[in-house]
Amino acid sequence: MRVLFTCGGTAGHVNPAVALAQMFQTRNSGCEVLFVGADGGMETRLVPKEGYPIETVTNFRRSLSPASIGHNVRTLLNMNKSRKQANAILDRFQPDLVVGTGGYASFPVVKAAAKRGIPTAVHESNAVPGLTTKTLSKVVDVVMVGFEESRSHYDDPGKVVVTGTPVRTDFFRYTRKEARAELGLTDDRPLVLSVWGNLGAEVMNCQMAECIALECRDGAPFHHIHGAGRDYRAVLDALQGSGLANHPEVDVREYIYDMPLVMAAADLVLCRAGASTIAEIAAIAKPAVLVPSPNVVADHQTKNARVLANAGGAVLLPEGESSGEKLYALMTGLLSDAPRREAMSRALRDMAVPDAAEQIYQTLVRLMEKRAN
């Protein structure tokens, strides 16, 4: 069996594909896997670290700006080039199945495979499909989505299967009690986790410095672990100016390398609303305050956050309405209201698909069996 995964652009597109690749090889002896990404994409760094080969096609990206005519002409040329590259890769690898999990590289590869009659599928982690997934949904055999609410965004809802989005097994390793013990938390005070992405977000990190100052001056009513990313030094400097840089209940880190452990221990999570993040929050039922990034394509993080908020599992706070003071008020309000947090957790458990990788795997196996008969 040969399975080709094509993905890229963000870790949220790459991680589900890697999880599925591992499952296919575990379940099928001798299964060969190939990844296809875009030239220069982060997938060219992430995928080899997981032990998988990757080939690339020329990246292309349209622009809707009236001043971008030259850019779009180059895009058309690159699309033609990537189509030829995709066909050459299919000629060499001869896959039995092609799966796209998002990113521009998925388009030429999945489209070329569908045209050849190879079983094809796409998985969309975001609540609302991006242009690539929306376009490919018209030619693939099956569309897999993370949420039931996503089904209505496709022209043929009957082709859509709600599978959830795969979450690393590490996130299910610890109970809250075990995780708190591992972190050395010995009292009864709750734990807040805040993180705004691996690279950080300057606006939100400035607000977190204000928020942390407020909680410290109130006697630190809870523990707080904050991942600041590239703004780590700026956050420390801000706290140093307030005389709070070394407060024992506040742990400001550059990166949170043990995210599954910290999230398991947390009573409340403050974060962005990328597809992987909301899948993790839903899978382990952690109440959250979501502040979507306003700097993403089609404002898809707000749409992701709205799914959780409408279900009652999270609070949606637009970045333009956020402040250190407002974040602190939300944190203290939620942490003092255990019944509300439990209701939020129940809502998340009701909407989560904890065995998403298995659901996707079985969907793809059924597709291959159907096409073989």
Mean pLDDT, the chain, whole residue set: 90
pLDDT reported for residue 71: 40
Quote the tokens at residue 28.
């099928």
Three-state DSSP state, 103: coil
How many whole angstroms separate alpha carbon 335 and alpha carbon 188?
A: 12
> Which residue type sits at 47?
V
**Dihedral of the CA atoms 211, 226, 272, 37 (nearest 10)?**
150
pLDDT reported for residue 12: 78
Tens-place pLDDT, residues 239-296:
886 656 567 788 999 999 899 999 999 999 999 999 889 999 999 999 999 999 998 8
How many whole angstroms separate alpha carbon 275 and alpha carbon 258?
A: 19
65 pLDDT more than 70: no
- Cα 338 to Cα 247, 333, 335, 344, 348: the distances in Å are 26, 10, 7, 10, 15
The pTM (predicted TM-score) of the whole model is: 0.83
39-53, 61-75, 94-108, 232-246: segment of lowest average pLDDT? 61-75
pLDDT reported for residue 69: 45
28: number of Cβ within 10 Å:
12
pLDDT reported for residue 142: 97
- Which range has the top average pLDDT, 113-122, 128-137, 149-158, 273-282? 113-122
> Which residue type sits at 320?
G
pLDDT reported for residue 75: 59
pLDDT reported for residue 199: 58
How many whole angstroms separate alpha carbon 112 and alpha carbon 293?
A: 33
- Cα 15 to Cα 9, 21, 32, 155: the distances in Å are 11, 10, 18, 27
Tens-place pLDDT, residues 15-58:
889 989 999 999 999 999 999 999 988 899 999 999 999 999 99
Nearest to 227 by CA among 249, 199, 247, 246: 199
**Would you list the DSSP string of 168-190?**
-GGGGS--HHHHHHHHT--SS--
Tens-place pLDDT, residues 108-126:
999 999 999 999 999 999 8
140 pLDDT more than 90: yes
- Which range has the top average pLDDT, 2-11, 30-39, 145-154, 347-356? 30-39
More confident residue, 30 or 200: 30
Q: Which residues lie across from 120 on neighbouring strands?
A: 98
Q: Please give the average per-residue pLDDT across 53-82, as a whole number.
A: 66
**Would you list the DSSP string of 15-77?**
HHHHHHHHHHHHHSTT-EEEEEEETT-THHHHHHHTT--EEEE--------GGGHHHHHHHHH
Nearest to 367 by CA among 157, 122, 142, 151: 142
- Which range has the top average pLDDT, 103-107, 231-235, 316-320? 316-320
pLDDT reported for residue 200: 59
Nearest to 242 by CA among 220, 201, 209: 209
pLDDT over 90 percentage in the chain: 67
How many whole angstroms separate alpha carbon 200 and alpha carbon 228?
A: 5
